[in-house]
């Protein structure tokens, strides 16, 4: 089967190896003539990025690059990007990179025509209605990792440096108009980054599936995404040039972002403050917390996990699924404890206070209060399941 297709789910997706060659035509179809190319400092220096930019310019497009994006983006990155967008008179954004670069690109496009400050659009209630829809520039997303699935999402995550809090900015028009998902762009990812981004996709699908809300559409997408992770992540980590495994992981990432419109939960609620305070890789942090959160939620999710285990080819039991998670983490190099991410207990009080307030906490199948957050954090720190 050729792993290639044109999808409209949840946005227009051009999927397949080599399809980044279609970027110039895609930009023109979105009626952009002078896009801002948003990426990160590492990708900005790579030959593949230079080639993409050269192709865009040879197609007659006026394009400039903005690469001031941290691995955990902060408000200053968005502010600088908006300034570059306005100064250059740009008419849209090409967001090129991993989840951080995609989020910055989406946020720059969103804020380019807004008069209110960024934090006025946090994902709280109907705050998104405060935005001026006419001031949101079109976005084309080109992921170079297989993790966040931000190319298929309507939000961006950004850290408020004053409070060291990760916040979600949401608006329906932050969904990219078109996403080009080319697994060849992920071939150069180092094994540990492949593992971390893959665990991010896994966590998105798993928390969406376990969320305590009725959304069978999201459930179906999530379980198939988990199957793709089970069958392909270890292969992609071991053999980074395996384009089939890379393609399936890129699909799983988009599926995670599509399904988590249903819910996220305590994995993310704890990972967000840990990442903002310790600057850890988000996907690896999710991977560390995953089994400890599964155990905490067990009484509420065991029937669903049994069905999931059966679907992905395991013995239909919670224990079998937990063993699979632990074995996968060990196989791909995800640490068993927070100490493996150089995280200690110095900020434990701050983290357990922040986690229940995180916007993802409300989707956990068991209520997450400070006491529960402390219990999970300490077990992840000490390695006690």
Contacts of 15 (CB under 8 A, 6+ apart): 3, 4, 5, 6, 7, 181, 182, 247, 250, 251
Domains of the chain: 5-185 (3.40.50.1970), 189-382 (1.20.1090.10)
The answer to pTM > 0.85 is: yes
Question: Is residue 1 pLDDT above 90, yes or no?
Answer: no
Token pair in block for residue 300: 């509420």
pLDDT at residue 85, as a whole number: 98
State residue 360's pLDDT score. 96
**Sorting pLDDT into bands at 50, 70 and 90, what band is 240?**
very high
Of residues 108, 102, 56, the one with CA closest to residue 78: 108
Residue showing tokens 């002078």? 34
Average pLDDT, stretch 362-369? 98
Share of the chain above pLDDT 90, in %: 99
For 52-96, the pLDDT digits (tens) are 999 999 999 999 999 999 999 999 999 999 999 999 999 999 999
Torsion sign, CA atoms 286, 292, 296, 300: positive
CA distances from 382 to 324, 339, 352 (A): 21, 8, 16
pLDDT tens digits, 20-30: 999 999 999 99
Residues 6 or more apart whose CB falls under 8 angstroms from that of 244 comprise: 3, 232
**Residue labelled with tokens 């249903």:** 262
Residue 308: pLDDT band (50, 70, 90) is very high
Task: Select from 305, 267, 273, 264 the least CA-distant residue to 289.
Answer: 267
Q: What is the pLDDT of residues 222-235, one digit of tens each?
A: 999 999 999 999 99
* φ/ψ of residue 188, rounded to 5: -80, 0
Q: Which residues of 23-56 are buried (b: 16+ CB within 10 A; e: fewer)?
A: bbebbeebebeebbbbbbeebbeeeebeebbeeb
Chain-centre distance for alpha carbon 322:
23
- List, for residues 174-195, the tens digit of each pLDDT value: 999 999 999 999 998 999 999 9
- The mean pLDDT value for 27-38 works out to 97
pLDDT for residue 315: 98
Whether 208 has a pLDDT exceeding 90, the answer reads yes
Find the largest Cα–Cα distance for the chain. Answer: 59
Q: What pairing do the DSSP bridges indicate for beta strands 12-15 and 5-8?
A: antiparallel
Instruction: Report d(CA 260, CA 295) in Å as an integer.
Output: 20
The pLDDT of 125-133, averaged and rounded, is 97
Please report the pLDDT score of residue 351 as a whole number.
98
């Amino acid at each position: 089967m050729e792993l290639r297709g044109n999808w409209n789910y949840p946005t227009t997706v051009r999927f397949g190896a080599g399809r980044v060659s279609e970027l110039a035509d895609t930009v023109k179809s979105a009626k952009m003539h002078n896009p801002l190319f948003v990426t990160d400092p590492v990708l900005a220096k790579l030959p593949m990025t230079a080639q993409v930019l050269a192709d865009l310019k040879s197609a007659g497009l006026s394009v400039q690059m903005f690469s001031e994006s941290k691995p955990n983006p902060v408000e200053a990155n968005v502010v600088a990007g908006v300034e570059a967008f306005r100064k250059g008179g740009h008419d849209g954004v090409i967001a090129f990179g991993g989840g951080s670069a995609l989020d910055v690109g989406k946020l720059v496009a969103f804020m380019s025509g807004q008069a209110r400050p960024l934090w006025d659009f946090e994902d709280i209630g109907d705050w998104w209605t405060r935005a001026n829809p006419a001031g949101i520039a079109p976005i084309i997303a080109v992921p170079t990792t297989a993790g966040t699935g931000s190319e298929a999402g309507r939000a961006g995550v950004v850290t408020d440096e004053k409070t060291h809090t990760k916040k979600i900015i949401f608006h329906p028009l932050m969904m990219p108009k078109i996403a080009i998902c080319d697994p060849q762009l992920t071939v150069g990812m180092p094994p540990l980054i492949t593992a971390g981004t893959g665990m991010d996709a896994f966590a998105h699908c798993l928390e969406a599936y376990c969320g305590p809300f009725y959304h069978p559409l999201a459930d179906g997408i999530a379980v198939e995404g988990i199957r793709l992770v089970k069958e392909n992540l270890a292969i992609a980590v071991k053999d980074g040039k395996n384009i089939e495994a890379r393609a399936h992981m890129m699909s799983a990432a988009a599926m995670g972002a599509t399904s988590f419109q249903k819910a996220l939960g305590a994995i993310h609620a704890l990972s967000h403050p840990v990442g903002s305070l310790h600057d850890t890789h988000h996907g690896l942090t999710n991977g560390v917390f995953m089994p400890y959160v599964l155990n905490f939620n067990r009484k509420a999710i065991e029937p669903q996990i049994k069905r999931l285990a059966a679907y992905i080819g395991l013995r239909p039991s919670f224990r079998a699924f937990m063993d699979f998670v632990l074995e996968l983490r060990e196989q791909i190099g995800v640490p068993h404890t927070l100490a493996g991410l150089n995280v200690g207990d110095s900020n434990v009080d701050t983290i357990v206070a922040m986690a229940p307030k995180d916007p993802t906490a409300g989707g956990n199948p068991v209520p997450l209060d400070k006491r529960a957050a402390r219990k999970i954090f300490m077990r992840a720190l000490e390695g006690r399941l």
